[in-house]
Amino acid sequence: MNEVVNYLDIRHKIGTFTVINCEHRNWIWRLIGHTAVVYKCRITGQLMVLESTNKNFTTGNSGVQLTPLGLWLKNYPGKVFIRVPEFVNKPSNTDAKWNREEKAGQFVAQHLIAKTSYPDLRTWSGRFKVALSALDLKFRGKDLFTYKGDDEGIFCTMLVVQFYIYCGLMKPVIEAAECEPDDTRTHGFLERQLVDCAWSDEIRIK
């Protein structure tokens, strides 16, 4: 059993790009999994959960949204793990930290202003978009289960991967819609796609 670390004891180590992995109390949702990421306000220092979800357990809202981390953590019904990124800042790239945080703010603003939705699970297209992310069958290097529908929504891991790519911390060759929650867990394949950073081992905070 993973030891639960008090969130307040390690709050100072948590910043933008910290990945959140969840194990829901309900076994069906636990099998599906959930991924989110932390966004830290550069002005107030407030830690926020950036996620795309069918239902936020604090607000009840759907789609891409921000929720204060402490409040989100209190209301999430299950186990919560974080993976804190460690960055590689080369001497010749002293503006790297500023650039990636500037891009993070731009990414968040764009999606909140656009009110980016979660895939519409009332339609077959929306359901297939989420389901096909978990089905991986490759033939001659190509995934045979690739979503080709017209649903414009973004699901949880898809959002986190797009966030990392936009900010230059993950290789842009990754197809975000093909990623699922297990891919950000320990030994998930997305660890190998990181650029100039690495994720810590999982730390359970609930």
Query: What pLDDT digit, counting tens, does each position of 16-25 carry?
Result: 999 999 998 8
pLDDT category of residue 139 using cuts at 50, 70 and 90: very low
Tell me how far CA of residue 85 lies from CA of 16, 69, 82, 200, in angstroms: 9, 17, 10, 6
pLDDT category of residue 173 using cuts at 50, 70 and 90: confident
Report how far residue 153's alpha carbon sits from residue 160's, in angstroms, rounded to the nearest whole number.
Answer: 14
Domain 7-204, classified CATH 3.90.1720.10, yes or no = yes
Instruction: Give the start-to-end residue ranges of the domains of the chain.
Output: 7-204
Report how far residue 105's alpha carbon sits from residue 112's, in angstroms, rounded to the nearest whole number.
Answer: 11
Tokens of 150: 């017209």
pLDDT at 8 exceeding the cut of 60: yes
Report how far residue 173's alpha carbon sits from residue 128's, in angstroms, rounded to the nearest whole number.
Answer: 22
Least confident of 25-29, 83-87, 160-164: 25-29
pLDDT of residue 43: 87
| 70 CB neighbour count, 10 Å cutoff | 14
Tokens of 83: 């993976």
Report how far residue 196's alpha carbon sits from residue 193's, in angstroms, rounded to the nearest whole number.
Answer: 10
Report how far residue 194's alpha carbon sits from residue 171's, in angstroms, rounded to the nearest whole number.
Answer: 6
Tokens of 52: 């795309």
pLDDT > 70 in the chain, percent: 82
Least confident of 3-12, 100-109, 146-155: 146-155
Q: Can you give the pTM of this predicted structure?
A: 0.87
Report how far residue 34's alpha carbon sits from residue 16's, in angstroms, rounded to the nearest whole number.
Answer: 18
Give the DSSP per-residue string, 23-75.
Answer: EESSHHHHHH-EEEEEEE-TTT--EEEEEEES--TTT---EEEEEEHHHHHHH
Task: List the Cα angle 127/183/102 in 5-degree steps.
Answer: 95
Report how far residue 19's alpha carbon sits from residue 81's, in angstroms, rounded to the nearest whole number.
Answer: 8
Report how far residue 166's alpha carbon sits from residue 113's, in angstroms, rounded to the nearest whole number.
Answer: 17
pLDDT category of residue 169 using cuts at 50, 70 and 90: very high
